[in-house]
Amino acid sequence: MNLSDPAFQLELAANITVAGSILLAGRNNVHTWWLGIVGCALFALVFEHSHLYADMVLQFFFIAVSVLGWWQWLRGDHGAPLPISRLPARSWAWLAPLAVLGTSGYGWMLTRLTNAYAPYVDSAVLVLSMIAQLLMMRRKLESWWLWLLVNSIAAPLYYSRGLHLTSILYVGFWINALVALRHWRRLMRDEVEARAADAVA
């Protein structure tokens, strides 16, 4: 970790920005989205330099979804803020096979067409992150379970590529996801109770 190294400076800026965004997401704060757009643009450059192409592509997906998520959180419930809710259990019947197929297909493509490092592990981070981000955009509680899985895979992957700061950040993301899961669960319960009270009134 050399502070005079431009590559490390870029990684540091990306980590600080995305860390702020993730902390705001855990607190259910809408400002997570614009800060995330900046952080993802920086991380796209970091991952391109490290030949983690699936992660680079993932950043562009995050930027697009962040624009939609920003709007969804503010106006996604018929013009009102979107409440936290649970994903129907039947949705996992198609999400799980989709994750396996997406990881296998993208990993195979990276193996054939690029010099990507750990293409299938990298692809698992890509696909699971995409699903988790879409669930978070819809304020689904289960998004945090998927982020726990993503962070468990990503932290050792990034460490193995010499991205030690990013690896440490993802350990922090794992802790944040656990805290956020508990926080969102409490907020969801409070929202349900508030709606029930309004209905009675």
What is the per-residue pLDDT for 40?
Answer: 95
Give the range of the structural domain holding residue 67, as residue numbers without chain letter.
Answer: 6-75+92-200
What is the C-alpha to C-alpha distance for residues 117 and 158, in angstroms, rounded to an integer? 10
* Residue 87 lies inside a defined structural domain of this protein: no
What is the per-residue pLDDT for 201?
Answer: 63
Least Cα distance to 195 among 85, 76, 107, 32 occurs for 85
Q: Which single residue is written with the structure tokens 């970790």?
A: 1
What is the per-residue pLDDT for 104?
Answer: 97
The total of other beta-carbon atoms located within 10 Å of residue 151's CB is 24
Number of compact structural domains in the chain = 1
Q: Are 187 and 86 in contact (CB under 8 A)?
A: no
Q: Which residues of the chain have pLDDT under 70?
A: 1, 76-79, 201
* Residue 80 lies inside a defined structural domain of this protein: no
* Residue 84 lies inside a defined structural domain of this protein: no
What is the per-residue pLDDT for 195?
Answer: 76
What is the per-residue pLDDT for 105?
Answer: 96
* Residue 186 lies inside a defined structural domain of this protein: yes
What is the per-residue pLDDT for 83?
Answer: 86
* Residue 131 lies inside a defined structural domain of this protein: yes
The total of other beta-carbon atoms located within 10 Å of residue 186's CB is 11
What is the C-alpha to C-alpha distance for residues 87 and 105, in angstroms, rounded to an integer? 25
Roughly how many angstroms between the first and final C-alpha of the chain, as a whole number?
Answer: 59
* Residue 81 lies inside a defined structural domain of this protein: no
* Residue 1 lies inside a defined structural domain of this protein: no
* Residue 82 lies inside a defined structural domain of this protein: no
